[in-house]
Structure 1
């Protein structure tokens, strides 16, 4: 049976001398594997649509739950500016890795597909990649069922200004409740305002983002600490991103 899907290439694995198995994240069917026969050949009609980040319309021949076969593909956006920049490639690869690890085969998630597509477009247009990454990490946490409490104090449930973030308790702590977790991370006023916005804002409505370096670092510390505690895997692509980023900003 032939099916037409709109998808983003998460990764491509060599298969034999001339083929590749693509992992696609599609709007209609979620994540699935597709064999691109002959895609490694110089004159292959599929060579332009097998690179990670590529968005395309794919026509697949599928006979069930196994690996589909790529029959036709028309590129929608190659995202070449991302692949031509080492740091942007590292950010994008981390996002794709997170998504791959946190999604099941053939589980349609159209909002997540739209989010990834929008984030890739913003990444190549120069939006702060750290802010885009926090947005994606928070949505992945929500998908995994581990949403931190960011709209009120996680202990007293009152709408008070946060002064700390407790990984153990799972959210913001107000001044009166901060002693419930001596290891909680300090939260500045700016971080307390920005983090809940990043959790819910549509990427299309994200304006020019200017964040102080200390606020940016605190946002990263909070979200990454929470992820390390609750997500059951380690990301090699994150380690690579941090190495490249450390070299880049020197």
Structure 2
């Protein structure tokens, strides 16, 4: 059966002499994998549309096993994301989250729109750290681990300087902080941004300036939640951490 869908290439793997297996996150079909025959060959009509981050319209044949790419038309190549090392690193983390955390063939139109908007935001030089933190928050929500940030998870208080407890699943007030001595005490600005991330639509993200110390707290908070609750060793995030380590 021939099917047509809009999709974003979230993984592209060489297969055999001249073929590729591409994983798409699509609007109508969710995450699917397709065989793109001859896509590695320079003159192939599939070469451009099977590159990582490409947004296009795909026609494929779906039988009982893996589908086969029949035709692909570019909507947005996102070539700038592949040509810039930093943009490529952040974008790779964005698509890896979707690839590794979203089940196959479970459509989610809103998540598709968020992924599409996130890649565009990085290409447009919006703050890539903020983009991926918003996406991380969406993935935590999808998995059922969205942190409780509006009030203390232990007593319900919303007073005093809050500390983020990964193990308790949200913020603790000063009186309850002893329940997790390792909780990260949050500056008010950091907590405000974390709460905003839970409601933010990446299609509406604008230019934002965040202080270095606030960004450091945001990163510590989000990475802790992702590591503990998702349990995934992120290949692309490891590369981001190497770039940070060596100030590249």
Q: TM-score, normalization: structure 2?
A: 0.96
Contact 1:162-1:172 within 8 A present in 2 as well: no
Alignment gaps of 5+ in structure 2: none
- Please name the residue that 1:7 is paired with: 7
**For 1:160 and 1:2, how far apart are their aligned partners in 2?**
58
Local SS of the residue matching 1:95: helix
**For 2:86 and 2:154, how far apart are their aligned partners in 1?**
39
Alignment of structure 1 residues 67-78 onto 2, 5 Å: 67-78=66-77
**For 1:162 and 1:155, how far apart are their aligned partners in 2?**
14
- Please name the residue that 2:196 is paired with: 197
- Please name the residue that 1:32 is paired with: 32
Alignment of structure 1 residues 214-225 onto 2, 5 Å: 214-225=213-224
Alignment of structure 1 residues 119-158 onto 2, 5 Å: 119-158=118-157
| CA RMSD, 1 decimal | 1.2
Alignment gaps of 5+ in structure 1: none
After superposing on structure 2, the runs of 4+ consecutive aligned residues of structure 1 that deviate more than 4 Å are none
- Please name the residue that 2:182 is paired with: 183
Q: TM-score, normalization: structure 1?
A: 0.96
Work out whether 1:113 is the aligned partner of 2:119.
Answer: no
- Please name the residue that 1:211 is paired with: 210
Count of equivalent residues: 248
- Please name the residue that 1:63 is paired with: 63
**For 1:157 and 1:204, how far apart are their aligned partners in 2?**
32
- Please name the residue that 2:53 is paired with: 53
Local SS of the residue matching 2:139: helix
Contact 1:24-1:31 within 8 A present in 2 as well: yes
Local SS of the residue matching 1:52: coil
- Please name the residue that 1:234 is paired with: 233
